[in-house]
Structure 1
């Protein structure tokens, strides 16, 4: 699952279980005088990617439960 922050200046990729696989930074976002902004963008991108991965995993579990004939919300 991929997510970005800062208008695409920070991109992260996580797996379905939330494991961080990569962080890509646009060189323009690296400013030695504003490290806090870069840190905030990285955290925002990671959190968004993990949120998306969790939503995708939940949706997949619901589909699997439905195919087994389990009532919605059972898993």
Structure 2
């Protein structure tokens, strides 16, 4: 089994503003030439949005985004 390397981790507040921050973070970490950049950006947006809407993070909690390649 191949394991990826951790590119970074960011902790965000459970707020709608964090969705844009997560997208920006992923795009910066992967770089403009990464072949899956658009797909990963969209998936990150969906997951962080769901976390801010449907989890206890929306009540002052935290969301952690980790990205590996």
Shorter-chain TM-score bucket reads 0.3 to 0.5
Indicate the structure (1 or 2) with the bigger Cα radius of gyration: 1
TM-score by length of 1: 0.41
Instruction: Tell me the TM-score normalised to structure 2 length.
Output: 0.43
Pick the structure with more helix per residue.
2
Q: Which has the higher contact order (CA 8 A, sep 6+)?
A: 2
